[in-house]
Chains A and B, each alone.
Chain A
Amino acid sequence: MNEIIYNVAQDFSAYPGGRFRRDGANSGQELRANLVELLNRARREDARLRVILDGTAGYGASFLEEAFGGLVRCENFTTNDLSRILSIEANASVFQPYKTLAERYIEEAQPLVAA
């Protein structure tokens, strides 16, 4: 399977921010928009998106939930979809808890019911 590599610190920002674009720069909502584009590309190309969390200044829970949980909640990806085309990585031990959190947010997210 081909790979698409996305390094958050280098390709997005070394300073991840808050939840929504309206809250300030480098939001989880903004990262999610980038991930959706790459995940759709991964689908088309039968590839896997590897998101690397190492190297940033740190992650807030609200950022991770909006970026990753939001893929299920807001973007109609299922957990099965994501298990095939997405892997979240943290090579340094300091970032392992945030990989675990991001994966948990995906597992726990409930799709929003359309009105």
Chain B
Amino acid sequence: MRITPAAALVLAAEYDRARIRKMSDYFARVHNLKQMHPDVFRLTLIDVDKWEPSVVRTLQQLGFFALLDIDYPQLDPAPAPDHILSFRSGTKVDPEEAGKLTEELKDLLLSLRMPDSDATVHLQGRLIDAIQNVRDHAYPQGEPLRFPHVGRWWMTASVDKEENRLDVVVYDQGITIPGSIPMSPRRNDIAGYLKNFLNLEDDFTKPIYDGKNIKAAIEIGQSKTQQSHRGRGLMFMRELVNFCRRGELRILSRNGGYLYSSDGTELDWIHDTSIGGTLVEWKLYL
């Protein structure tokens, strides 16, 4: 049993949200700083010693236990294909933070004697645009989300030496791509695309069409509209897969999923439950 870096990032983001909200609720209620005790901010885990060791290793590498300030004993460095970088998080577009991640990736590729490519230069721009998308769309003012949010993005990356592959993940807990479409200036363009190209006559904002909405949002970003200078980020992010030997972009948003492969294959699907935000994941084979 294992946990993927993407799933571990989503789990870490949930705990990070809970930790931040707990801190801010406490600060709102307590005005005397002398009454603060660090333990009041702590979140706890149950029976960690019974968790699957491979899951614990992944979470350790990701920085999950450090996030919770849990001093968990390091497990033996058993052979594991994944080398996972500590996650980063923020609210602004932080190019230096993204740069630290890509530089760590480059150093890791070098240390593992993996092919050196220009992939990290192309990746850096896409990470910036993924965070820009979060800033522009994920947390619109005045729009209630299902759960209180903390306005953040989270990212991580991993290297699989056996497969010569980089995985990079960006996640937010925002309104989602399908959730943002009803208030988007491109709403009519997306409706037209779904009707004309996918023969969709039904209410396209229903969650059962979330996968198709993600695809439409990418395609419409390339079209000429009054807002042509905006909205190209998703297509730009998709193009990253063409700079490697082969690659995949997967986007999960609300109940929808979308996969694009460098051989041109596209898939879209839906899940029974929402991922609670938007997850963008690149798998890049060097």
Show the binding face of A for B, using Cβ within 8 Å.
13-19, 23-27, 57-63, 65, 69-70, 73, 93-95, 97-98, 105, 108-110
Task: Indicate if B86 sits at the interface (CB-CB under 8 A).
Answer: no
Chain A residues with Cβ below 8 Å from B136 are 19
Question: 6 A-B Cβ contacts within 8 A?
Answer: A15-B98, A16-B95, A23-B92, A57-B102, A60-B125, A62-B132
Establish whether residues B135 and A60, one from each chain, have CB atoms under 8 Å apart when the complex forms: no
Establish whether residues B232 and A65, one from each chain, have CB atoms under 8 Å apart when the complex forms: yes
Residue in A13, A18, A97, A98 whose CB lies within 8 Å of B135: A18
Q: Which of B95-138 contact A (CB under 8 A)?
A: 95-96, 98-99, 102-103, 118, 120-126, 128-129, 131-132, 135-136
Known pairs A17-B95, A25-B95, A59-B125; A94 contacts B118 (CB<8 A): yes
Residue of A nearest to B122 (CB): A58
Most buried by B among A25, A58, A94, A110: A58
How long is the Cα–Cα vector from A18 to B228 in the complex, in angstroms?
Answer: 17
Establish whether residues B229 and A57, one from each chain, have CB atoms under 8 Å apart when the complex forms: no
How long is the Cα–Cα vector from A97 to B99 in the complex, in angstroms?
Answer: 19
Establish whether residues A15 and B229, one from each chain, have CB atoms under 8 Å apart when the complex forms: no
How many contacting A-B pairs (Cβ < 8 A)?
Answer: 90
Task: Indicate if B236 sits at the interface (CB-CB under 8 A).
Answer: yes
B111 smallest CB distance to A (angstroms): 19
Chain B interface extent, by class: 20 to 34
How long is the Cα–Cα vector from A62 to B237 in the complex, in angstroms?
Answer: 11
A9 smallest CB distance to B (angstroms): 12
B231 smallest CB distance to A (angstroms): 10
How long is the Cα–Cα vector from A63 to B96 in the complex, in angstroms?
Answer: 14
Establish whether residues A110 and B125, one from each chain, have CB atoms under 8 Å apart when the complex forms: no
Establish whether residues B121 and A23, one from each chain, have CB atoms under 8 Å apart when the complex forms: no
Residue of B nearest to A19 (CB): B132
How long is the Cα–Cα vector from A94 to B103 in the complex, in angstroms?
Answer: 16
Establish whether residues A62 and B228, one from each chain, have CB atoms under 8 Å apart when the complex forms: no
Residue in B123, B128, B228, B229 whose CB lies within 8 Å of A17: B128
Q: Which of B78-101 contact A (CB under 8 A)?
A: 92-96, 98-99
How long is the Cα–Cα vector from A68 to B233 in the complex, in angstroms?
Answer: 16
Q: Which of B132-146 contact A (CB under 8 A)?
A: 132, 135-136
Chain A residues with Cβ below 8 Å from B232 are 61-62, 65
Known pairs A25-B95, A105-B229; A57 contacts B132 (CB<8 A): no
A56 smallest CB distance to B (angstroms): 8
Residue in A13, A61, A109 whose CB lies within 8 Å of B95: A13
Establish whether residues A23 and B233, one from each chain, have CB atoms under 8 Å apart when the complex forms: no
How long is the Cα–Cα vector from A17 to B124 in the complex, in angstroms?
Answer: 10
Given contacts A17-B94, A18-B132, A24-B92, 6 further A-B contacts (CB under 8 A): A17-B95, A24-B95, A57-B103, A62-B233, A94-B118, A95-B121
How long is the Cα–Cα vector from A19 to B92 in the complex, in angstroms?
Answer: 11
Establish whether residues B126 and A109, one from each chain, have CB atoms under 8 Å apart when the complex forms: no
Establish whether residues A57 and B124, one from each chain, have CB atoms under 8 Å apart when the complex forms: yes
B173 smallest CB distance to A (angstroms): 19
Chain B residues with Cβ below 8 Å from A16 are 95, 128
Residue of A nearest to B91 (CB): A24
Contact with A along B174-194 (1 / 0, CB 8 A): 000000000000000000000
Chain B residues with Cβ below 8 Å from A59 are 124-125, 128
How long is the Cα–Cα vector from A26 to B123 in the complex, in angstroms?
Answer: 18
Establish whether residues A58 and B229, one from each chain, have CB atoms under 8 Å apart when the complex forms: no
How long is the Cα–Cα vector from A94 to B128 in the complex, in angstroms?
Answer: 17
Report, nearest first, the 8 A-B pairs whose CB atoms are least far apart: A58-B124, A18-B93, A60-B128, A24-B92, A15-B95, A24-B93, A61-B236, A94-B118
Chain B residues with Cβ below 8 Å from A57 are 95, 98-99, 102-103, 121, 124
